Amino acid sequence: QKEVEQDPGPLSVPEGAIVSLNCTYSNSAFQYFMWYRQYSRKGPELLMYTYSSGNKEDGRFTAQVDKSSKYISLFIRDSQPSDSATYLCAMSGGAQKLVFGQGTRLTINP
């Protein structure tokens, strides 16, 4: 079993929809949780960074962490075609050793 599980999709939604992306993990030592966005043939870019449990909002993006369930989510409101990309969850226990999920490929249809 992988430390971090993420549904690879693909996920296709119409423009303007709310998108929900999720990851589960098994290592209870994880404290730092991140979401990266990766466009085709580009490197991942950091989207959201949260510590421990709770919510964090940045514009149209909201990250949620539920440590009791070992479950993290990323919500995208008013999705745009430019949000079409692969979204990678990543987490670490503080030793800077980031463990990534498989990535979810998302397409927003105009």
Partner 1 sequence: EAGVVQSPRYKIIEKKQPVAFWCNPISGHNTLYWYLQNLGQGPELLIRYENEEAVDDSQLPKDRFSAERLKGVDSTLKIQPAELGDSAVYLCASSLGTGELFFGEGSRLTVL
Torsion 65-66-68-69 (CA) sign: negative
The window from 3-11, 14-22, 52-60, 67-75 that contacts partner 1 (CB under 8 A) reads: 3-11
Regarding 88 and contact with partner 1 (CB under 8 A), the answer is yes
Of 7, 13, 32, 60, the residue at the interface with partner 1 (CB under 8 A) is 32
Three-state DSSP string of 23-37: EEECCCCCCEEEEEE
Residue 96 engages partner 1 in binding (rule: CB under 8 A)? yes
Minimum Å distance from CB 18 to partner 1? 24
Q: What is the DSSP string of 41-104?
A: TS--EEEEEEESSEEEEETTEEEEEETTTTEEEEEESS--GGG-EEEEEEEESSSS--EE---E
If one asks whether residue 54 binds partner 1 (CB under 8 A), the answer comes out as no
Q: Which residues of the chain form contacts with partner 1 (CB under 8 A)?
A: 4, 6, 8, 32, 34, 36, 41-46, 49, 88, 90, 92, 94, 96-98, 100-103
